[in-house]
Amino acid sequence: MSGRGMEEARRRDGGDPLARFRGRFHIPPGTLYMDGNSLGLASEDALASLERAAASWRDLGIRGWLEAKPDWFTYGERLGAKMAPLVGAFPDEVVLVGSTTANLHSLAATFYRPQGTRRRILADELNFPSDLYALASQVRLHGGDPERDLILARSADGRTLDEEALIALMDDTVALAVFPSVLYRSGQLLDLRRLAEAAHRRGIVIGFDCAHSAGAVPHRLHDDDADFAFWCTYKHLNGGPGSPAGLFLHRRHFGREPGLAGWFGTVKERQFDLAVDFEHQPSAGGWQMGTPCILSAAALDGALDLFAEAGMESVRAKSLELTGFLLDQAEARLTPLGFRAGTPREPERRGGHVALEHPEGWRICCALKARGIVPDFRPPQVVRLAPVALYTTFEEVERTVAALEEIVRNRKYEAFSAARAAVS
């Protein structure tokens, strides 16, 4: 099976229309990198853009706010316009600012307005915990009790969510719903349009955490009628550690007052009037707060150029091929060894990473890293693998499966401690 798998991998690599992009990324020497869903790799484009911004700081000083190419003053809005086609939004509906959790706080502070019996926030137990921490704190800020006012939809299998079950919880006590687009453990892709339509029929504002889909899955946030969305840019988008996060706000909400105001959200032409009264920019840019991190934004600027060149539909097509090939190989070679795929097989329900479950998941990850293969681990037993369309080859997927097969068959994982590291 391994020989046939390698033969098929090389055949697919030979016909890969995105193969030319791999050479523009810095692959750590001696490494087979399968962790792009946690931190994407550095590209020549991102580093060159970062160097240009650093040179502008060196040569222009404060004049860089208006005289740098591109200028720093409108960086968040400009990057938002550049990002917008990847998530199916109008240019003024997206801004790149802050962090994922900060953007959730900003948006929840805008839209969570508990009144009467409609006081609850609907989320789910499989969402990334940071979102739940933020939502619970928003409930407390409004005098509520998260035990009562933050509803967590349950999963029937501990891996996936059923949209119909989520919709069943959308009653007249719910003021706000927030769900992930792709579940961070299993890689399940939810039907955003279906959820948004159901929420709006019931008078509920709905937003989505797209951290595990942006850059791997093309979205249609405007047409799917999401009220808002937010995401990080250091995973599939390869923006670099701490790169600014994305914030989407549907145009119909531009007239709302931002729940958390700051001077960078002021109407741009009057920002330096330093008026006491706040007037927000009538776009997603109005939800900026503090001064943007220019050097981090610059790296993302270069990274986004690759997506404009490759095309998001092509990225998605290869991503599905890579994850499909990985699931096929895993089913044939790893299932007999005690692995279980936690990721849906249907392409329309799958994001950009694959979850392989095994009782010895943590020690298996350690054994992979010792061989120069970089996965990540999510408790209780998930080995997450993210073959990234712009730089992962099918041969690397096959080599990863072969390594997993050998590690478990020969119990090589037993050489590693069961104690988890601080960062897994």
Q: What letter represents residue 300's amino acid?
A: L
Query: Which of 12, 82, 185, 235 does the annotation list as catalytic?
Result: 235
Radius of gyration of the chain, Cα coordinates, nearest whole angstrom = 22
What is residue 249's three-state secondary structure?
strand
Asked if 248 and 52 touch (Cβ cutoff 8 Å), the reply is: no
Whether 384 is catalytic is: yes
CA atoms in the 13 A half-sphere facing the CB of 188? 21
In sequence order, which residues have a C-beta less than 8 Å from that of residue 222 and are 6 or more positions away?
88, 89, 90, 93, 250, 251
What is residue 383's three-state secondary structure?
strand
What gap in Å lies between CA 121 and CA 139, rounded to an integer?
A: 8
305 assigned binding-site residue: no
Query: Which of 128, 254, 278, 416 does the annotation list as catalytic?
Result: 128
14: tokens are: 């030979």
266 assigned binding-site residue: no
Burial level of 252, CB count in 10 A (0-12/13-18/19+)?
exposed
What gap in Å lies between CA 91 and CA 106, rounded to an integer?
A: 20
Q: What letter represents residue 120's amino acid?
A: R
Q: Smallest Cα–Cα separation from 17: which of 254, 325, 267, 316?
A: 316
> Which DSSP symbol is given to 190?
P
B/e letters for 174-203, b = 16+ CB within 10 Å, e = fewer, are: bbbbbbbbbbbbbbbbbebeebbebbeeee
129 assigned binding-site residue: yes
Q: In what order do the strands lie in the sheet with 94-96?
A: 94-96, 246-249, 228-231, 205-209, 174-180, 120-124, 150-153
209 assigned binding-site residue: yes
Query: Which of 384, 391, 412, 413 does the annotation list as catalytic?
Result: 384
Query: Which of 124, 209, 301, 376 does the annotation list as catalytic?
Result: 209
Whether 209 is catalytic is: yes
CB atoms within 10 A of CB 415: 11
101 assigned binding-site residue: yes
Whether 128 is catalytic is: yes
128 assigned binding-site residue: yes
What gap in Å lies between CA 119 and CA 127, rounded to an integer?
A: 20
43 assigned binding-site residue: no
Query: Which of 73, 111, 184, 234 does the annotation list as catalytic?
Result: 234
253 assigned binding-site residue: no
74 assigned binding-site residue: no
Asked if 110 and 258 touch (Cβ cutoff 8 Å), the reply is: yes
Cis check for the bond before 380: say yes or no (omega within 30 of 0): yes
CB atoms within 10 A of CB 119: 20
What gap in Å lies between CA 32 and CA 340, rounded to an integer?
A: 22
Annotated binding-site residue numbers = 100-101, 128-131, 209, 212, 234, 263, 291
Q: Write out the catalytic residue numbers.
A: 128, 209, 234-235, 384
Annotated binding-site residue numbers for pyridoxal 5'-phosphate = 100-101, 128-131, 209, 212, 234, 263, 291
